[in-house]
Structure 1
Amino acid sequence: PAAPALLPESNVIGLDAPIGERVKKSTVLIVDDIPTNIEVLAGVLKDEYAIKVAISGKKALEIADAFHIDLILLDIMMPVMDGFETCRQLKANPKTAHIPIIFLSARDGTEDVVAGLRLGAVDYVSKPADPTILKARLSAHLLLATAMQDVKRQNELLIENARLREDVERMTRHDLKSPIAVALHGSQALLCSPLTPNQREQAHMIETAAENALEMINRTLDVYKMEQGSYQPALQVFDLSEMLAKVCQQVRLAFDSSDVTVSFEAPQDVTCLGEPLLCYSLFNNVLKNAIEASPPGGRVTVNIAPGYGNLHVMIDNAGEVPPAARERFFEKYAPSDKIGGNGLGTYSIRLMAEVQGGSVGMDTGHGRTRLTITLPCP
């Protein structure tokens, strides 16, 4: 009889029919060179599964290649092409390699069982098969095979969705470049006109912020390279204190409506060995996270401390990291209470520090949180 019509597969596993219902719609191929044996097995299984039959290994290969088969009951002792050779060819064909095979044979020696399992069979049933045991084994292997197909399909969908997300992110980055470029050109035009000193300073700050924003958009493309270990930083000696002062000033302007204060007393001549724009992105992310995590009226402080062949930048803010997020704070997609967070902020901070030969650390408790970024110095 023809197999019952199946509903179209959903793109979400949870929207499929229950796995038990789908298993009942499975098609079982019975392969035996003795018609009487086929009749007995078909009589046992026909009320629960759609049945197809083959009286030779060659015919079994043709049917399995042409139709959707969920499980094969395969006799070992057959003329011309025995069950072992049939199984070998089924597993060699990409279209049929996934089909679970249960061997049937009056021979139940250890060597036959081991040989069948080594060829890829999932089970071995001795003839004459007890109907209750046969049904139980078929049900178990069909449930397992269906679950594995669900996992495989879900993995394929996840890969497809990841590629789609990357495409959307690339398009978003491209679309963001246009308005930022307008702000950059506008600030440059203002700088060419008569301005008061204060206005010139503000226009220059807009120009710098727009340039850095464009660079940061391009930097997001580098995160993938950092994950793969293929990113090569252009290290150079630069004034870290001066760069941190600019970051703090621009962050203050970005959070002008916030009542959180940012404190940084820039020391003189603090040089660092790193990539300036990468460090700009790193500390910009850290300070924004610290401000967003601070309670109203809070204070974020930035300090620099020397080390042995390196230096430490410490960013302190009021508030504690939730206990559930502490252990995985710098991991990808770590849990967070931040609204709209994607779990990539602290992860990218760690990548940016490590790719420059540095490291990051977090300490939280007693109402405070401290992030320490360690970077090499010349």
Structure 2
Amino acid sequence: MDEKKLIRFQQQQIKALQYEKAAAMDALDLARELGTISALSPQQSSLEKLLQDICDRAQRMIPFQSCAVYLVDNDTQDFVRASSCPETASAKLEEEIDLLIADQSFAYALQSDGPVFFLGSAGDSHILLHALLTPFRVRGMFAGIMQQSKEEILDTTLKLFSVFMLAAVNALENYENHEIMRNHSLELKRMVQQRTQDLVDAYDRLDITLNAMQAGVMVVEAENYRIVDVNPKALEMMGREWEEVIGTECFDVICTACKGSCPIVDNGLQESNEEHVIERKDGTHIPIQKTVSRVMIDGKLHMVENFIDIREQKKLADLKEHVDRIMRHDLKVPLNGIIGLPDLLLNDDEVNLTESQREVLEYIKISGYKLLNMINLSLDLYKMETGSYEYNPAVADVYSIVRSVVKDLSELVRYKKLVIREQFEGKDVGGDFSFDIRCDEFLTYSLLSNIMKNAVEASPEDEDIIFDVRVIDGNVAIQIHNKGAIPESIRDTFFEKYVTAEKSDGTGLGTYSAKLIAETMGGNISFESSSEKGTSIMINLPGMDD
């Protein structure tokens, strides 16, 4: 292989790794969102919305001409299309599914725990089927007509798509459990609030309902916080007998609050929906999702506590972290090999390289190191979110950092005919100007890279982008201005996670990570935007003396 082919091969390898890393991180985030307990919250408005979310997020992992979720009808055991995207293209997909059912291909796909591909009836596209399975039953099937050939999809993407489908089926299970709990809770409220002369029959009906529920239910008298009733499922989860629980205070059994700080009785909430941990009698712990509601029984205020075991959801979260660690390791091993190869060529006296070839090899090496740092940064961002990141600032030239960012964006800058103007205290400075700040150099690079990339993409052509640094009250104030305006629809949520607009390839993580990094470095970030003046992003960081 000659030198030029080798260089092109290295560039292709880096691009492939960058694409694979981005696809992996996107897929893991999608799996995490659907695999958490969020699907149990009252904010999840409907099953239709959850199914639409599954289709939309699947589209972000693998492009489909059309896709749909088929659910098993509990009465007929038939597969019924519950959601499709887009709705206008559902007829073609429905025809393909009917053919797959007729030739037993659909039944074959139900036996697999991964994606299965079939050639469409016209022979010009592939159909992907992925069964939605739990350990106990078949929930349904995801189906989609692909935009690309199956050979173009990375094996890693297919594996992560299966992780995502596992998250999706768990989200469906969570939603169904929540609906069961909510419906039972409403029924319980109606029953206990209906004062009738036949109070004994009312209590009998209540006992039947409580005993039949697959969620733990506990009734607590608000006046003295004592447990007055509990169903068998709750006793099973706590590992206790009925006599051990009745008459004890809820704080000793299930509640994490203390007397005087009960969310329902003392803080006046009508309902509480939170995650807790039960300590069983044998000392083991079970994570639960608990909902507490206020009800009146015999003229007295009571609290009805409904809770379910969420150990499976926790296992799914652990699976996500495990896959995350594997991905980081699997990306680093080949990347380290790619990073080392340019050095072999540069240091080999027998290889006669031109100056331009040396520059290309240096750029490949630098890009490889940047990608390696980005992989490490994904773990650092997780630590920042959880508050476990240890920030160790040093001294670095902020103008040198931003010039490195601009170099990475040079192709897009040239294409849009933009001019990057460097300023200090509002006045233009030359390309050799420097100004040291107290920061973490790589975090600052990532922060400025996210903001500068947005500015370059949003700016109209043939305009200036201004990078200005000022010292205000001893602090460092960085301002990045472009003539584009932030869409009004996302201005209120601009720095929130997964917020993006008018960008087909946007993840909505750039401004979120920029805010996270700025706050980790002891600063803050804000913006001003209008169609008349454009957009200014303001980053305030501590000064050298802080």
TM-score, normalised by the number of residues in structure 1: 0.61
- The answer on whether the counterparts of 1:233 and 1:356 sit within 8 Å (CA) in structure 2 is yes
- The answer on whether the counterparts of 1:325 and 1:334 sit within 8 Å (CA) in structure 2 is no
Does the residue aligned with 2:493 lie in a helix, a strand or coil? coil
Partner residue in 2 for 1:125 = 298
Partner residue in 2 for 1:183 = 338
1:358 aligns with 2:515: no
Alpha-carbon distance between aligned partners in 1 of 2:388 and 2:319, rounded to the nearest angstrom:
23
- The answer on whether the counterparts of 2:339 and 2:365 sit within 8 Å (CA) in structure 1 is yes
Match of 1:171 among 308, 311, 326: 326
Question: Aligned ranges for residues 90-169 of structure 1 at < 5 Å?
Answer: 91=250, 94=253, 123-125=296-298, 145=305, 148-149=306-307, 161-169=316-324
Partner residue in 2 for 1:345 = 510
Partner residue in 1 for 2:539 = 373
1:88 aligns with 2:247: yes
Question: Aligned ranges for residues 240-319 of structure 1 at < 5 Å?
Answer: 240-253=398-411, 255=412, 259=416, 261=418, 263-265=420-422, 266=431, 268-294=433-459, 297=461, 299=463, 301-308=465-472, 309-319=474-484
Partner residue in 2 for 1:14 = 175
Q: Post-superposition shift, 1:222? A: 1.8
- The answer on whether the counterparts of 2:443 and 2:517 sit within 8 Å (CA) in structure 1 is yes
- The answer on whether the counterparts of 1:260 and 1:291 sit within 8 Å (CA) in structure 2 is no
CA 262–190 in structure 1, closer or farther in 2 if over 3 Å, else same: farther
Q: Post-superposition shift, 1:214? A: 1.0
Partner residue in 2 for 1:75 = none
CA 312–170 in structure 1, closer or farther in 2 if over 3 Å, else same: same
Does the residue aligned with 2:529 lie in a helix, a strand or coil? strand
Higher mean C-alpha deviation, range 201-210 or range 364-373: 364-373
- The answer on whether the counterparts of 1:358 and 1:374 sit within 8 Å (CA) in structure 2 is yes
Alpha-carbon distance between aligned partners in 1 of 2:543 and 2:527, rounded to the nearest angstrom:
21
Does the residue aligned with 2:500 lie in a helix, a strand or coil? coil
Instruction: Name stretches of at least 5 consecutive residues in structure 2 with no aligned partner.
Output: 1-135, 140-168, 189-197, 212-226, 236-241, 256-292, 423-430
Highest Rg: 1 or 2? Answer: 1
Q: Post-superposition shift, 1:249? A: 0.4
1:212 aligns with 2:370: yes
Alpha-carbon distance between aligned partners in 1 of 2:432 and 2:444, rounded to the nearest angstrom:
18
- The answer on whether the counterparts of 2:413 and 2:419 sit within 8 Å (CA) in structure 1 is no
Higher mean C-alpha deviation, range 192-201 or range 13-22: 13-22
Does the residue aligned with 1:171 lie in a helix, a strand or coil? helix
Partner residue in 1 for 2:166 = none
- The answer on whether the counterparts of 2:466 and 2:482 sit within 8 Å (CA) in structure 1 is no
Partner residue in 1 for 2:60 = none
Partner residue in 1 for 2:17 = none
Alpha-carbon distance between aligned partners in 1 of 2:207 and 2:248, rounded to the nearest angstrom:
28
Q: Post-superposition shift, 1:181? A: 2.1
Deviations 1:95-150 (A, max 9, x none): xx69xxxxxxxxxxxxxxxxxxxxx9965438xxxxxxxxxx9xx98xx65xx43x
Does the residue aligned with 1:327 lie in a helix, a strand or coil? helix
Does the residue aligned with 1:321 lie in a helix, a strand or coil? coil
RMSD: 4.5
Alpha-carbon distance between aligned partners in 1 of 2:529 and 2:210, rounded to the nearest angstrom:
64
Q: Which amino acid aligns with 1:212?
A: K
Q: Which amino acid aligns with 1:232?
A: E
Q: What is the percentage of aligned positions where both structures have the same residue?
A: 27
Alpha-carbon distance between aligned partners in 1 of 2:504 and 2:316, rounded to the nearest angstrom:
22
CA 262–180 in structure 1, closer or farther in 2 if over 3 Å, else same: farther
CA 298–325 in structure 1, closer or farther in 2 if over 3 Å, else same: farther
Partner residue in 2 for 1:225 = 383
Match of 1:200 among 358, 361, 365: 358
Alpha-carbon distance between aligned partners in 2 of 1:159 and 1:242, rounded to the nearest angstrom:
44
Alpha-carbon distance between aligned partners in 1 of 2:230 and 2:203, rounded to the nearest angstrom:
21
Q: Which amino acid aligns with 1:371?
A: I
Deviations 1:311-336 (A, max 9, x none): 333323343222232223223x2632
- The answer on whether the counterparts of 2:499 and 2:509 sit within 8 Å (CA) in structure 1 is no
Higher mean C-alpha deviation, range 172-181 or range 83-92: 83-92
Alpha-carbon distance between aligned partners in 2 of 1:263 and 1:51, rounded to the nearest angstrom:
68
Q: Post-superposition shift, 1:50? A: 6.0
Alpha-carbon distance between aligned partners in 1 of 2:323 and 2:378, rounded to the nearest angstrom:
13
Higher mean C-alpha deviation, range 267-276 or range 297-306: 297-306
Q: Which amino acid aligns with 1:354?
A: E
| Higher relative strand content | 2
TM-score, normalised by the number of residues in structure 2: 0.44
Match of 2:393 among 220, 235, 260: 235
Q: What is the count of residue pairs matched by the alignment?
A: 293
